[in-house]
Amino acid sequence: MLIRRKRGWELPEAAATPEAVFVQRRALVQAMGLGALLAPLAIDAAQAAEDKATADPSAGLYPFKRNPRYTLDRPITDPKYAENYNNFYEFGSEKDIAEQAQALKIRPWTVKIDGMVEKPFEIGIDDLLKKMPLEERLYRHRCVEAWSMAVPWSGFAMAALVALAKPLGSAKYVRTQTFLDSAVAPGQQQFWYPWPYIEGVTMAEATNELAFMVTGMYGKPVPKQDGAPLRLALPWKYGFKSAKSIVRLSFIEQRPATFWETVQGDEYGFWANVNPAVPHPRWSQATERVLGSDERVPTLIWNGYGEYVAHLYDGMTGEKLFM
Ligand SMILES: Nc1nc2c(c(=O)[nH]1)N[C@H]1C(S)=C(S)[C@@H](COP(=O)(O)O)O[C@H]1N2
Ligand SMILES: [Mo]
């Protein structure tokens, strides 16, 4: 199975702290000269102080009110899968990067808005949360590797962020950029990848009602391994389009060179819309493995979201829309 040891999700959020903190706390207890009997109390006090210092300042905002417009055809995935079976190459190419990802510092976190906009600006994540219309949505997520999950995401419509950015008429694409810090993200020391992780969508995709900026998951701030503190969810596209831990959105005229397209363009194209009839060059996309079950279910074209997005691609016959 995937889960080999106790991980953050098995503990209440406040109890999950990095090893270094335990070491510090042990040193503190020893320095206080307390006997073994009193030590647990001292640990509780140290824990409380520590929780206050490191608590996610947005935690009190959750849960967001669920938008009933977006419904699922399957059960919500148990968070133990969504939070422990991850693709986040910055922290390694395996699925069990959740512990590694705890090294990411998510405050302060500034998002830069630039390119073809009225006036470029930077905004802190907590200020951004104050300006955006917050809601929860149930979405399916389909990875190009043929596994899937169904998740309650918290966040806001990407269209609201686009409106805040005030793009000029000349902007045709929104390019999303993930943080770059190889000291915390060892995967970024792998020089053969074109870091930082870049993805992008057209303006029409960015302002489509489904495009969703994610700040939370399962009614809490989104875990680091799932892309804290700001990621995308583009539920009609393969998962790699949904960039994690975004630091910059640029409004640009040319189609951006995206991470996976640069690595392997014949397998991971720019559009990457889900289609069971178009196989990946190395495997079928006809069915998907539902995380947390032994079931394989048929994959749906546009991942089942055709009524919202199929019209975006009318007449684009020369494009590789499904790869
Ligand atoms: N920055 C960054 N974003 C990323 C990835 C990545 O490696 N780095 N992987 C993508 C892929 S392939 C998928 S399937 C989803 C996985 O999200 P999850 O771990 O929350 O399921 O994140 C996407 N966003
Ligand atoms: Mo993926």
Q: Residue 308: its pLDDT value, please? A: 98
- What is the average pLDDT across 289-304? 96
Assess whether the previous peptide bond of 167 is cis (omega < 30° from 0). no
The domain spans of the chain are 21-52, 65-313
Main-chain phi, psi angles of 231, to 5 degrees: -135, 180
Q: Closest ligand 1 atom, CA of 226?
A: 20
Checking if the pLDDT of 36 tops 60, the result is no
For residue 14, the model assigns a pLDDT of 35
Tell me if 106 sits within 8 A of 22, measured CB to CB: no
* pLDDT value of position 296: 95
* CA–centroid distance, residue 236 to ligand 2 (Å): 12
CATH of 65-313, one of 1.20.1250.20, 3.40.630.30, 3.90.420.10, 3.90.1280.20: 3.90.420.10
CA distances from 93 to 163, 173, 188, 193, 237 (A): 35, 28, 11, 11, 21
How far does residue 18's CA lie from ligand 2's centre (Å)? 27
Instruction: Judge whether residue 34 has pLDDT over 60.
Output: no
Q: Say which range, 7-16, 183-192, 247-256, has the weakest mean pLDDT.
A: 7-16
CA 29–ligand 1 middle distance (angstroms): 40
Residues with CB under 6 A from ligand 1: 82, 86-90, 143, 178, 197, 226, 239-240, 242-245
Phi then psi dihedrals of residue 320, to 5 deg: -85, 85
Confidence band, pLDDT 50/70/90 cuts, at residue 40: low
The Cα 290–Cα 148 span in angstroms is 5
Specify the residue with its C-alpha closest to ligand 1, atom 5: 88
Ligand nearest the Cα atom of residue 145: 2
Q: What is the CA(315)–ligand 2 centre distance, in A?
A: 27
- With beta carbons less than 8 A apart as the criterion, state whether 96 and 120 touch: no
Q: What is the pLDDT of residue 45?
A: 73
CA of 192 to the centre of ligand 1 (A): 18
Q: What is the pLDDT of residue 42?
A: 66
Ligand number nearest to the C-alpha of 89: 1
Q: Ligand 1, closest atom to CA 187?
A: 7
Please report the pLDDT score of residue 268 as a whole number.
97
pLDDT > 70? residue 15: no
Give the C-alpha separation, 271 to 269, whole Å.
6
**Which pLDDT belongs to residue 31?**
54
Nearest listed ligand to the Cα of residue 232 = 1
Which of 106, 148, 153, 244 is the best mutation target for the ligand 1 pocket, counting ligand atoms within 8 Å of the beta carbon and taking the most? 244
- Average pLDDT of the chain is 90
Helix (H) or strand (E) holding 303: none
The predicted-structure confidence for 119-157, as pLDDT tens digits, reads as follows: 999 999 999 999 999 999 999 999 999 999 999 999 999
Q: What is the pLDDT of residue 17?
A: 38
Give the distance (Å) from ligand 2 centre to CA of residue 161: 24
For atom 15 of ligand 1, the residue with the nearest CA is 239
Q: Ligand 1 centroid vs 245 CA: distance in angstroms?
A: 10
Q: Report the predicted TM-score, pTM, of the whole model to 2 decimal places.
A: 0.86
Atom of ligand 1 nearest to the CA of 89: 7
Q: Which ligand is nearest to the CA of 85?
A: 1
pLDDT of residue 27: 52
Please tell me the residue having the least CA distance from ligand 1 atom 8. 88
